[in-house]
Amino acid sequence: MTEIGKATRPSWTDALKVYARPRVVSMLFLGFSAGLPFLLVFTTLSAWLTQAEVSRTTIGFFSWVGITYSIKVFWAPVVDRLPLPVLTGLLGRRRGWMLVAQIGIAAGLIAMAYTDPHDNLFWIALFALVVAFSSATQDITIDAYRIEAVGKEIQGAMAASYILGYRIALLAAGAGALHVANIGGWHAAYLSMAMLAGVGIATTLIIREPESSASSDNAYLQEERVVEFMERSAHLPKRLRHLYAWFIGAVVCPFVDFFKRNGLLAIVILALVGLFRISDITMGVMVNPFYLDKGFALDEIANVTKIFGFFMTIAGAGLGGVLVVRFGIMRPLLLGAVLVAVTNLLFAWLAVSEKSLWWLALVISADNLSAGIATSAFIAYLSSLTNRAYTATQYALFSSLMTLPAKFIGGFSGMMVDGYGYPWFFVYASSIGIPAILLVLYLMRRAPVPEN
């Protein structure tokens, strides 16, 4: 796919009208459902553990619960192809899996609400893992729905709408949970978040299944490699043949297809996917402990970093979506990569400065604005790489790689802070974003955004 708009570039007005499309609007609510669990097993949980007097090193290790999001590629083929009894017939392939995942999220949050981390740290970790696994499964289905529902030229707007809903959920799970915890305790905070999981359940019951999803349930039987296998394996029992055929179509073909379409550049693309968000995810593990250690109260953290930061992120995401429609994907992607690395340095400056809500607001403004631009462009880029015959599996591969290196490295962030302090930690978090910038520049010269 060539970049949008060298000969037929849409006007700014036409670019903005894309946000009124019904499918784009639906992503607002699905984004909320996807974003709600994330902070509850990440930075909000780290604040809870900090107040429960859990060590910083242990809090850092807790971030490894989030690795569940990074290995979802291993069960994505099952979600992509396996029908669920009753639910698939009633709701469709995507919506059926969405509903199961959303119920798992609500149940896990309720269990966390009734567990004390001071006395039952293992059970908190286990229930957080249930929430993370269910959330990752939901992400697989929502990503597949988003890609299958509209064409590539709308993916930037779909991403921006998704981010808006996602950030509203982060506002609820971040500032909202902190305010509720400040008033009624962490039990009330997590119980209220479990109730908000009903937004996703209601949305799943309202939206329609994408046409391409419904039409491709048995598409794997027509894939060339599957056909060849079926012809060679007539001597095998029927059930075994179909099981092997399913594995080839659901697991082997998506990966072969990606490397066949991209050749050796596939390695560079996967490297970019793995490194693009390594800077901000690594930094994010320690931001709430940093705010608390700096002397900010829970309500101050909620108001400045969550509520005020929310509007800056939405502004960045909306701008990113418009930039993708107006200028294509790669230039906004480069802009986002540079801004994320540069703005993370501001936290190092904040760490050596006097406590000030005004300076905190300034740093949050720059950081969240850049994160919004980067995320919109990056989601649009990942969407452009998928083949719709293997939507969920291929996108799960990309989104797993997107977080796996950062989640693994982020697990050691507490040790970095304990050993070297916050200023050097933030400098380090910024510097590891440089490889992503170089990879974007390389791909801009060597590879256009691909067609499926």
Task: Return the minimum-mean-pLDDT range out of 381-385, 425-429, 436-440.
Answer: 381-385
Give dist(CA 107, CA 126) in Å, integer.
12
The pLDDT tens digits for 233-290 are 656 666 666 666 666 666 677 777 788 887 888 888 888 888 888 888 777 777 778 8
Return the domain boundaries, the chain: 12-446
pLDDT score of 5: 43
Closest CA to 345 of 261, 264, 429: 429
**φ and ψ at 263, to 5 degrees?**
60, -145
**pLDDT at res. 32:** 93
Number of H helices, E strands in the chain: 28, 0
Share of the chain above pLDDT 90, in %: 13
Average pLDDT of the chain is 79
What pLDDT is stored for residue 64 in this prediction?
77
Candidates 138, 1, 148, 117; CA nearest to 51 is: 117
What is the C-alpha to C-alpha distance for residues 441 and 452, in angstroms, rounded to an integer? 22
Question: Per CATH, is 12-446 categorized as 3.30.1520.10?
Answer: no
pLDDT above 90 (res 104) = yes
**DSSP 8-state code for residue 307:** I
Contact call for residues 37 and 120 (beta carbons, < 8 A): no
Report pTM.
0.64
> Which phi-psi region, left, alpha or beta, contains residue 85 (left: φ > 0; alpha: ψ -120 to 50)?
beta
pLDDT, residue 105, reads 96
N-term to C-term CA, the chain: 8
Question: Which pLDDT value is given to residue 223?
Answer: 57
Residue 359 to residues 47, 295, 347, Cα–Cα distance (Å): 21, 14, 10
Model pLDDT, residue 321: 76
- Weakest-pLDDT range from 54-58, 312-316, 338-342: 54-58
